[in-house]
Amino acid sequence: MLRPDYPIATERIVLRPFRPDDLDALNSIQSRADVTRYLYWSPRSQAESAAALAKRVHSSTISQDGQMLAVAVELAATGRLIGDLNLEYLSAEHRQGEIGFVFHPDHHGRGLALEAVTELLRLGFEDLGLHRIVGRCDSRNTASQALMERLGMRQEAHLRENEVVKGGWTDELVYAVLEDEWKTTR
């Protein structure tokens, strides 16, 4: 079982469970076309963000396959919500998980996502005992590709036109890192 010891603080950010009062800040991220451009969903209304938040509020622990840990990322200096992380427990038998991340564009390019997702990987490997963690992104999403590479993940697959997203075929990239590779780089 993974029940993180929140809050998790780094030099510039704090990771914590989502709260109902995160709605306005979460919607300020999820309602943006530049944020959702490479995601499966389009910009969300306040009501759609409220539904997404309700799921996140109840996803603060992992105890079995198929569950997702949702983690809010706030700026330590201001307490403002700037990002949304998730860690899905894909398989207990094979000790595999998958990460996802979305950040407000006002906070891109400063290493905050790297700081946050590093902690998410640490939770997966050290606290949940995963052997392998993957991350996927649209091949046009060069920022996500670069982040996963900075995290020490390697591209394992380039799936050509494997999905229709928002009415058009897209390529998907699959990145991964193994537990022993993670430990070597820490």
The CATH number linked to 171 is 3.40.630.30
Question: What's the domain count of the chain?
Answer: 1
Residue 186 banded pLDDT, cuts 50, 70, 90 = confident
Domain annotation covers residue 181? yes
Task: Say if residue 1's pLDDT is above 90.
Answer: no
Q: Give the rounded percent of residues in the chain with a pLDDT score beyond 70.
A: 100
Instruction: Check: CB of residue 12 under 8 Å from CB of residue 74.
Output: no
Task: Say if residue 144's pLDDT is above 90.
Answer: yes
Rounded to whole angstroms, the Cα distance separating 155 from 49 reads 31
Q: Other CB atoms closer than 10 Å to residue 72's CB: what's the count? A: 25
Q: What is the pLDDT of residue 185?
A: 85
Mean pLDDT of 3-7: 95
Q: Domain containing 43: what range?
A: 8-185
- Locate 49 and state its tokens: 């963000």
The residues, ordered by sequence, that sit 6+ positions from 53 with a Cβ below 8 Å of its Cβ are 18, 20, 22, 23, 26
Residue 149 banded pLDDT, cuts 50, 70, 90 = very high
Is pTM beyond 0.85 here?
A: yes
**Host H or E run for residue 136:** strand 132-138
**Averaged confidence pLDDT in the chain:** 97
Domain annotation covers residue 3? no
Domain annotation covers residue 1? no
Mean pLDDT of 70-82: 97
Domain annotation covers residue 2? no
